[in-house]
A and B are shown apart, each in its own frame.
Chain A
Amino acid sequence: MNETNSLYIAIAGNPNSGKSTLFNELTGLRQKVANYPGKTVEKHVGVLQDDPDGNIRVIDLPGTYSLNPHSPDEEIAHDVLMGWSDDTPRPGLIVAVVDASNLERNLFLVTQLLSLGIPVVVALNMMDACRASGIEIDVVKLEQRLGVPVVPTVGSRREGTAELKARILSTLKQPSVPRSVVQIPDAAAREVDRLAAHLQAHELAAAESAHGEALRAICTENSFSHPRFAAARDPLKTTILAARDSLAQAGFAWYAIEAEAGYQWIETLMAEVRNVREARLTFGERADYWLTHRIVGPAFLGLIVLMIFVSIFALAKPPMDWIKHLFGYLAVLVVNTIPAGPLQSLLTDGVITGVGGIMVFLPQIMMLFFFIAILEDSGYTARAALIMDRIMGRVGLHGRAFIPLFSSFACAVPGVMATRMIDNARDRLLTIFVAPFMCCSARWPVYLLLAGAVIPNTIVLGFIPLPAIVLVSMILLGIVAAVATAALFNKTILKGVTSTPAMELPRYRRPRLRMVLQTMWERSLLFVKKAGTVILAMSIIMWALTNYPHRPDAAPDQQIKQSFAGTVGRVIEPVISPIGFDWRIGVSILSSFVAREVFVSSMATIYGTNMSDPHRAADLQAHLRSELDPETGLPFFTPLRALSIMIFYVLSMQCVSTIAVVRRETNSWKWTLFQLGYMTGLAWIACFVLWQGGRLLGWS
C-alpha cells in the first residue's frame, strides 16, 4: 500500500469521549482505553475495515479540549488536524467524537473543527450514558444546525458503529467542506483577515486554509514558535502581537474570543436540541458522596489497596505451585533424556531455572493487571487522584501527575509518556523525575521472591500474611521517596509554582469483564513473551558467564567464583559489600539493568548451579533459604539482607527502557543521567544505612 496515496481520517475529540474505543471498532485494532482523560498520548494509525480499496487510514489522536494546544499530547493532536505534522498528511476527513452526556462542553471543539476546511462527521458517542441521565437529544436538529452528519453511537457496545462507517464512506465519496458556525466579533474577524493575508503573502498558508490558520495563530499563545514558521518567525510574531494589541484596544481579550463566541452559539443550540426529561441523580453521584467523603473516602481507598495486595498474595499460591511443578517436571525430563554435560546443564541450570524462576510469578502479575484494569475502567482512579491531590500539590506536583504516577505501577515507560498531558514543562519534568519510584510490575517478582523466601509467612491481624505487609511497605516506600524527592526538587532545582487548571471528573462506568480480561490477557502475554525472549537470552548468557572458563576439576562453588561472572562480581564487590550484597547479588543486579525481572532469573542461574533435585528447578525460594553464609554457617539470606536488596530495587533506576524513555521525553541526556545518578545514589545510601544500622543493632 502506498502511504502517500492513502487517505487519512483523524479521530478527534475531548479527552475520555471514546475516541480510542471507536478507533478500535473502525480498524479492528486494540488501542488501550481507560475511563480517565488522557489515556492516549500518541497518535496511532490503523486501516479502516470493510473498505473495498483498503486505502483509508484512521488515526487515533490524544484528546484535546480545543485547537489551542496546552500540553505536548494536545500539540500532537493539533498538528495532525492542522496538517502540520511531519509524518501524517492533512486528514481528508475528521471524525469528531463527542460525549453526548456532556454535549455542551464537547461541542466547543467541534465548532473549531468545523473551521478547518476539512469534512467532518460527528459521532455522538455515549448515547447510553446520556439516556441514563435523563437527557434527550434531537439528532436531526443537531445535524441541521452543525451542517454535518451526526451519528449516535455507543462505542463500548458497538451500537451505531456500522452506521458511522457508512456515513464516513459516503462523506468521503462526496466531500463537502463544512461552514464555520460561530461568528467571531467583527473586530476579531478583521484581524483574522489581515493576518490571513500576511500568511498567504509570505507563503505560510494556502488560500483555502489561511483564515483558519490565522485564527489559530491569534488564539494560541506561542503559535509563532511552531517549527513550521522558523524561517519567518520575527515578522510573523510582530504581526500576531499587533493583532492582539488592536483587539485589546477594541475591548477583546485575544485568548477569550473563541471561547466566548463559541459557547454563546452553543448555548442557543443546546436550548433547541437538548431536552432534560428529568434530572436524575445517577448511581455514580450517590456513590461519589461516600467515595470522596471526608473519612469514608480515604478509608475506602486504603482498604481497596490493601485488599488488592492480600488477594494477590493469598489467591496466587496454588497456580504458582502448578507452574513450579511444571518446570520441575521439565527439568526431570531433560535430565532423563539428555546425557549429563554442557547441554543438559544449559537446559536445566540455565533455561529452565531462569525462565521457570520468573514464570512462577505469572499468576500474580495477571492478578495485578486484573485489578489495575478494574480501577481504570470504573473511573475510580480519578477519585483516588482527588483524594491524593492536596498532598501532591503540597510538594509541587501537578494535578495531572496522578495518572502518570498511577500508570507507573504497571510500568514506568507508559507512565513517563503519560506526562505529556501536563501543561507546563517544569511540572512535567518533576513528574518524570519521580515516576520511576512507583512500584512497576517488574519489581514484583523481585519482592515476591525475596519476601516469600525469607519473611516468615505468619498471619497478622487475622488475615494479612506478613510477606504481604513487607510488599506493601516496599510500595509505600517508593511513594514516600517520590513525594520526598518532589518536595526537595520543588524547593531547589525545579523551583516554581504548579498551576493545575481544571480537571475533569469522569463518570463511573461498570467495568466490562471483556475489557478487563482482555487487558489482563495482553499484559500476561507480554510477560510471557518477555520470559521467552529477554529473560531466556539473559539466562543463557548468565549460564555461560557462570560456567566459563570451564574448570572440570574445580568444585562447583570454585567454578562459579573463577568464572567470568565471578570475576566481574569480585571487581564490584567492594562497592556493594557495605550494603550487604555479595558478588553474586551484584552480578544479578547488574544483569537486571536489561529488565528488573532478570534479577530473579540470574539469581536462579547462579544459585541453581549446585542444585541437586531437578524437581525443584523452579523453586528458587527453596535454594535461597538453604544457602548458608560461609563465614557464620547461618542462613545467608537473612531478612535484613533481603530487605536491603528490596530497598535497592525500590529506589534505583534499574531499567534501560525507563532510561531510554526519559531521554526521549525530556530530550536531554543531562536530566536523564542526573536522574540515574540520583536514584542509584539514593538507593545505595538507604541500603547502607539499613545494612550497617541493622548490623549494629545485631539484626543480622
Chain B
Amino acid sequence: METSKTTSLDHLGVGRSARIVQMDLRPMEAQRLMEMGLTVGTRVTLVRRAPLRYPIIIQARGSHLTLRKAVARSIRIQLTGP
C-alpha cells in the first residue's frame, strides 16, 4: 500500500525512493529541474549523500543528479516503496 505521507526531498533516506509531488521554486529554477527530468510524478531515488551531507545525489530517469540543500528542501515528495 502506498502511504500518502508527503515530506521534502532532503528527508528521503539513502536508498529510498519517492515521487515528486510539488516544487516550491522560482519559475526558472523549477523549469530547469523539470527539463533535467524532475517533473511532477517522477520517481527519484536517493543514491548517496556527499561527505558533508549535502549535496545529495539522486537518481531520476537514469541520470545521477546532485542537489544542494536549499533546492532539496523545496521539492515535496511522496514516499513510495523501498
Contacts and interface: CB of A to CB of B under 8 A. Distances in A.
Given A102-B62, A499-B70, A294 B51 contact: yes
A278 B63 CA distance: 17
Contact of A504 (B26, B29, B63): B63
A232 to B, nearest CB: 24
Contact of A256 (B34, B48, B61, B63): B34
A320 interface: no
B33 A501 contact: yes
Contacts of A399: 55, 66, 68
A263 interface: yes
Interface residues of B, number: 35
B50 A68 contact: no
A500 B68 contact: yes
A469 B38 CA distance: 45
A198 B81 CA distance: 49
Contacts of B71: 499-502
Interface string B33-67: 11111111010000010111111010001111111
Given A105-B61, A386-B50, A502 B66 contact: yes
Nearest to A274: B62
Interface in A375-410: 386-387, 389-391, 393, 399
Contact of A502 (B27, B32, B39, B40): B32
Interface stretch (A285-293, A604-612, A687-695): A285-293
A423 B36 CA distance: 15
A65 B35 contact: yes
Contact of A104 (B27, B62, B65): B62
A108 B37 CA distance: 8
B54 A501 contact: no
A3 to B, nearest CB: 34
Interface residues of A, number: 43
Contacts of B32: 65-66, 70, 423, 501-502
A389 B61 contact: no
B30 interface: yes
A78 to B, nearest CB: 13
Interface string B64-81: 111111110000000000
B20 to A, nearest CB: 12
B31 interface: yes
Interface in A258-302: 258-260, 263, 288-289, 292-295, 297-298
A46 B69 CA distance: 42
B68 to A, nearest CB: 5
B28 interface: yes
A504 B42 CA distance: 17
Nearest to B48: A292
Which of A259, A389, A503 has most B Cβ within 10 Å?
Answer: A259
Contacts of B48: 288-289, 292
A65 B36 contact: yes
B59 to A, nearest CB: 9
A293 B51 contact: yes
A254 B29 CA distance: 13
Contact of B61 (A66, A104, A255): A104
B27 A503 contact: no
Contact of B35 (A103, A108, A253, A423): A108
B27 A255 contact: yes
A294 B53 CA distance: 8
Nearest to A133: B62
Contact of A503 (B51, B61, B65): B65
Nearest to B53: A390
B73 to A, nearest CB: 12
Contacts of A102: 62-63
Contacts of B51: 292-295, 297-298, 387
A103 B61 CA distance: 9
B31 A255 contact: yes
Contact of B66 (A101, A103, A294, A389): A389
Nearest to A66: B35
A543 B2 CA distance: 81
Contacts of B65: 502-505
B39 A259 contact: yes
A221 interface: yes
A500 B29 CA distance: 8
A66 B63 CA distance: 16
Which of A108, A260, A499 has most B Cβ within 10 Å?
Answer: A499
A221 B27 CA distance: 8
B42 to A, nearest CB: 8
B52 A390 contact: yes
B50 to A, nearest CB: 5
A108 B35 CA distance: 7
A190 B31 CA distance: 21
A502 B61 contact: no
Which of B35, B36, B53, B67 has most A Cβ within 10 Å?
Answer: B35
A374 to B, nearest CB: 21
B54 A390 contact: yes
Which of A101, A260, A505 has most B Cβ within 10 Å?
Answer: A505
Contacts of A253: 27, 30
A386 B55 contact: yes
Contacts of A293: 51
B53 to A, nearest CB: 8
A685 to B, nearest CB: 32
Contacts of B35: 65-66, 68, 108, 258-259
Nearest to B71: A501
B31 A68 contact: yes
A557 B37 CA distance: 70
B66 A505 contact: yes
Contacts of A104: 37, 61-63
21 contacts: A70-B31, A104-B62, A105-B63, A219-B31, A253-B27, A256-B30, A258-B35, A263-B61, A292-B57, A387-B51, A389-B50, A389-B52, A389-B54, A390-B54, A393-B69, A499-B70, A502-B32, A502-B33, A502-B36, A504-B66, A505-B64
Interface of A: 65-66, 68, 70, 101-105, 108, 219, 221, 253-256, 258-260, 263, 288-289, 292-295, 297-298, 386-387, 389-391, 393, 399, 423, 499-505
Given A256-B40, A258-B35, 8 more contacts: A219-B31, A259-B31, A263-B42, A293-B51, A386-B66, A499-B71, A505-B64, A505-B66
5 closest pairs, A vs B, by CB? A259-B34, A390-B52, A505-B64, A255-B31, A66-B35
